[in-house]
Amino acid sequence: MKHKTIFEALNWASSFLAEKGRDENAARLLMQHIYQTNYSGLMMRMHDDINQEKWDQFQSFVSEHANGRPVQYITGVEEFYGRIFQVDESVLIPRPETEELIVGAVDRMKKLFGDQAELKLADIGTGSGAIAITMKKEWPSAEVAATDISTVALETARKNAQALEADIDFRLGDLSEPLENEKWDVILSNPPYIALDEAKEMSEVVLDHEPHSALFAEEDGLILYRKLAEQLPNLVKKRALIGLEIGYMQGEAVAEFFKSSFPNAKIEIVKDINQKNRLVFCEIDV
């Protein structure tokens, strides 16, 4: 191999990925992973030679991404709310939009319960554990449980909780079923919400690699919200907060489900940073 610098390797990868219709920025993220450094650390090494072993590894990673495998599954990690989470094909890759669920929940919890009150909080459909673990770190006095129907997803979530030193009670089961016979102050969920017929419009990067059970839902993507609206009245305290991430066209339908179940609650449809409906909050204060 003729000696290549990191700069030259990145130029090659960016052009190659662009030709394949992939995100050119992925090249830098993959190189940062190989050198176990951040953006500024990589910038300082741009004119260093890349050795044969790292060059071979980099080419392999770039080829994987060109073939459609998400960068996060190649590196095995994704950042969420300033923390690093392990991810693999058993779990959905945490999205920036979900960080807004955390922000909105913490803000409303402070107003509803007072700062750092000792609360019982549940995350339904936890996946990588991103919501449950982040809430435990942001609200350390909370007693946090997290449910998922997938044993492999819960295993990934447990690894993340251990790595991030978060004490979470993980429970296997469908939706709210593992939470029964208890009353909760806060319930959060980012359930599967993509309608089955939307698959044809989605990127194959998502379709071919991320778990379909965490993406798609029946009844135009609304079935799990309807079920949650039916189940949660028996599970929440007289003063409680429910927070849900939704598809951007589902706000009115999801709000209606919860208005039926909680007629006296304050229900808000909240837009994300891109001005799309993304969250529904239901504040109960009977």
The 3-class SS string of 76-127 reads CEEEECCEEEECCCCCCCCCHHHHHHHHHHHHHHHHHHCCCCCCEEEEECCC
Would residue 8 count as lying in a domain?
A: yes
Residues 95 and 235 in one domain: yes
Residues 215 and 169 in one domain: yes
Residues 13 and 103 in one domain: no
Would residue 84 count as lying in a domain?
A: no
Contact present, 139 and 122 (Cβ < 8 Å): no
Q: Mean pLDDT throughout 203-224?
A: 59
Residues 165 and 24 in one domain: no
Would residue 157 count as lying in a domain?
A: yes
| pLDDT exceeds 50 at position 24 | yes
Domain count, the chain: 2
Pairing type for strands 120-124 and 49-50 reads: unpaired
Would residue 73 count as lying in a domain?
A: no
Residues facing 169 on adjacent strands: 145
Residues 129 and 187 in one domain: yes
Residues 249 and 168 in one domain: yes
Residues 280 and 144 in one domain: yes
Final residue before a domain boundary, out of 12, 35, 67: 67
What integer best gives the mean pLDDT of the chain?
90
Residues 157 and 280 in one domain: yes
Would residue 251 count as lying in a domain?
A: yes
Residues 127 and 227 in one domain: yes
Residue matched to tokens 């673990």: 133
**pTM metric for this prediction:** 0.90
Domain that holds residue 52: 4-67
pLDDT tens across 120-175, in order? 999 999 999 999 999 999 999 999 999 999 999 999 999 999 999 999 999 999 98
CATH number at residue 228: 3.40.50.150
Q: What is the pLDDT of residue 191?
A: 84
Residues 54 and 115 in one domain: no
| pLDDT exceeds 70 at position 59 | yes
- Which contiguous run of DSSP H or E holds residue 230? helix 223-231
| pLDDT exceeds 70 at position 257 | yes
Would residue 79 count as lying in a domain?
A: no
* Burial track 33-61 (b if 16+ CB lie within 10 A, e otherwise): bbbeeeeeebeeeeeeebeeebbebbeeb
Residues 139 and 26 in one domain: no
